[in-house]
Amino acid sequence: MVLEVIYVYRSNWVVDPATGEYTATVRTPTGIPSDPALASYGVDQARQLADRITSLSPPVDIIYSSPFYRCLQTLEPAVKKLAVKNPDIKVRVENGLGEFYGLARFDHPSPATLDVLHTHFPTLHATYKPLFVPSTNGESIPTLHDRIAYTLHNIISTLDEDPSGPKALLLCTHAASMIAMGRVLTGRMPDDEGEDDFRCFTCSLSKFTRKNSKPSSDTNGTSAAPSDVQKWDSSTPDLIPDVNWRNGMGVAGGWVCETNGDCSFLSGGEERGWNFSMEDPTYLHPKLPTTA
């Protein structure tokens, strides 16, 4: 049985939709403009978040994170505190939980490699291999949701079969991906993609508890069982296997949102909320070249 907790922190990056050139207002330790470090205020928020994470019950057993620097940096204070009681805890870097860039005519940036990230964060899991790597061609909002659903389906299935029996999973991701996580876990996809349903303020913390301890393997009216889901193929990255999460099904039997974007532990409270209706249409529906 896995109790899932999700949180997100974001830092600014800017893209010129005409050229695909990314710039950042904060230093980029990995050399990737869209992958900046936290500003000093973000570092303070990460410390406050760490205090909250280490007080959770049941305590965090497993951590997965987006591969982007600011996510891993946000996690660092919490990992150090958790390691006092659990010295073996490591962060599994999962590209399938990464940033959402929308659609555009140019290639989107990829995060730093695990070798590079290891030079900055020694607490990363050394041998973990990502389940999914998003296409550099970008993705639509529905595709983002399917990417998150497939990734979470496989993470949860793996932990369900783990002989150590982990109960609490911590996920670190970004704004759009955090909203998608709430939707695919609960199985609630609104008709309006821009609906303000799952909140994602900076360093906010959400909590989801499982509906059933033993999800059914029958895919007729339930979410897909592990054995029924085709494995994603990196040679066709845009083809994402269906895990049947929509229409109230939810990933791995479905989850209930108990805490939605809590910021009560942050000195600044709720800041920089976001939803899909705030996204630049250029990224969601780019104007493609036309023929004469």
CA atoms of 28 and 37, how far apart (whole Å):
6
264-270 mean pLDDT: 93
- Per-residue pLDDT of 37-84, as tens digits, reads 887 888 899 999 999 999 998 899 999 999 999 899 999 999 999 999
Pick the range with the lowest mean pLDDT from 165-169, 181-185, 217-221: 217-221
Q: Note the CATH number of domain 3-284.
A: 3.40.50.1240
Q: What is the pLDDT of residue 64?
A: 95
Q: What is the pLDDT of residue 53?
A: 94
Confidence (pTM): 0.86
Q: Is residue 4 left, alpha or beta, with left meaning phi > 0 and alpha meaning psi from -120 to 50?
A: beta
Pick the range with the lowest mean pLDDT from 34-43, 137-146, 193-202: 34-43
CA atoms of 126 and 90, how far apart (whole Å):
9
Domain-by-domain residue ranges, the chain? 3-284
Instruction: Tell me which H or E stretch contains 8.
Output: strand 3-8
**Three-state secondary-structure class, residue 96:** helix
- Closest by CA position to 45, among listed 270, 229, 275, 285: 270
Is the pLDDT at 282 greater than 70, yes or no? no
Is the pLDDT at 208 greater than 90, yes or no? yes
Token pair recorded at residue 78: 């919490």
